[in-house]
Amino acid sequence: MSAAARVFAGPLRYVQGPGVLDRLGELLAPFGARPFVVTDPVVRSMLGSRLEQSLAAAGLKPVFGTLDGEITYAAVEVLLGVLDGEVADVVVGVGGGKALDAAKAVALRTGLPVVTVPSIASNDSPASGAVAMYDEAHVMISVDRLPRHPAIVLVDTELIARAPADFLRAGIGDAISKKFEADGCWAGTGAIPVGGRPLRTGRAIADACYRTIRAHGVAALEACAQDRVTDDLEAVVEAVILMSGLGFENGGLSLAHALTRGLVRARGAATAAHGRHVAWGLLVQLAAEGRPDDELLDLIRFLHSLDLPTNLGELGMANPTSVEIEAIGELTMTAPHVLNLAVPIDAASVAAAIDRVETLAARR
């Protein structure tokens, strides 16, 4: 693809609302009678009979596969073995990130369309064409890409509301950066995840994602903590799954996500949720861009109101040393997204930006 080509890609259909899980059978019927449904053990025991009912009511004869453990290439082979050479019409992932990635990986191997049904909203992947693959030690080894996005993304907000609020909190952290990352990509020279340079559309969606979270984020987390589906929760789930997914794939990623390269190896912070890494990473991006203190303090206070991290201590790295901060800067520079910024950066300027955020967060 030429450097000048601008691209937009996304799922064919997105359905969101309380109780929409019971419409799964009706939505799958046009694909054919034999869906291959991939879940994790928790979802299988929690929702298995409800899924069977919905599919049977639509006259479907599903095959069920369960992903137990990490989403590895070996685990995908085990799932393909469940099909035992029989033909399926569509692959359906129901559950958390691993089950959805497993369904996408099966779709990648078989060429079948894929439908994603997230049971939590902890990141931007359900609507995306990305497939995160790991090894047995939970180290990410590859991000594969589907040639076609999910055919349907089905989001039952009752499931999201009933799940622990920390999942939605992490999803907000992963989503809140997208506006600034898309702005960085627009100003910079790098590529967007679907390939090529961004159109205006991806950036506009990322901007709407940010405004939705600012307006509804706090109330949505309150609703989620009480297992209630409210308009605020609906708005934020749409921002976290649909707008964030479309926003990053079509608007591009930038320094906020590049910093996760360092954080996944950082003392204490390595095991924090991806969305918590990204929320803090956004502050560092704004600092690296030379934004005024007031703008950073405004966002620091907002992240604090959501109980998202604003310094390394809150990410799990108490009393970071300058050597540790420099190491985060070095690893950050290995991410391709560092080209997606209005200002050129290097490991030293990233470390200086981290120091600036540590100082400002203390003034909160």
Interface residues with Zn ion (CB under 5 A)? 174
Extended strands (E) in the chain:
6-7, 13-17, 35-39, 63-66, 90-95, 114-118, 130-134, 140-145, 152-156, 197-198
Minimum CB–partner distance for residue 257 and Zn ion (Å)? 6
Minimum distance of Zn ion from residue 277's CB (angstroms): 8
Rg (CA), the chain: 20
Place of tokens 């997606």: 340
CB of 263 to Zn ion, least distance (A): 12
Tally helices (H) and strands (E) across the chain: 16, 10
Q: How many CB atoms lie within 10 A of CB 197?
A: 19
**CB closer to Zn ion out of 35 and 171:** 171
Pick the closer one to Zn ion by CB: 60 or 205.
Answer: 205
Residue 357, token pair as written in the block: 């955020």
Strands (E) in 18-151, as ranges, are 35-39, 63-66, 90-95, 114-118, 130-134, 140-145
Nearer of residues 240 and 327 to Zn ion, judged by Cβ? 240
Nearest residue by C-beta to Zn ion?
174
Q: Which is nearer to Zn ion, 174 or 232 (CB)?
A: 174
State which amino acid sits at residue 342.
Answer: A
As measured in angstroms, the least distance from the Cβ of 173 to Zn ion is 9
Q: What are phi and psi of 172, to 5 degrees?
A: -65, -40
Nearer CB in complex with Zn ion: 276/356: 276
Taking the complex as a whole, the smallest distance from the CB of residue 198 to Zn ion amounts, in Å, to 17
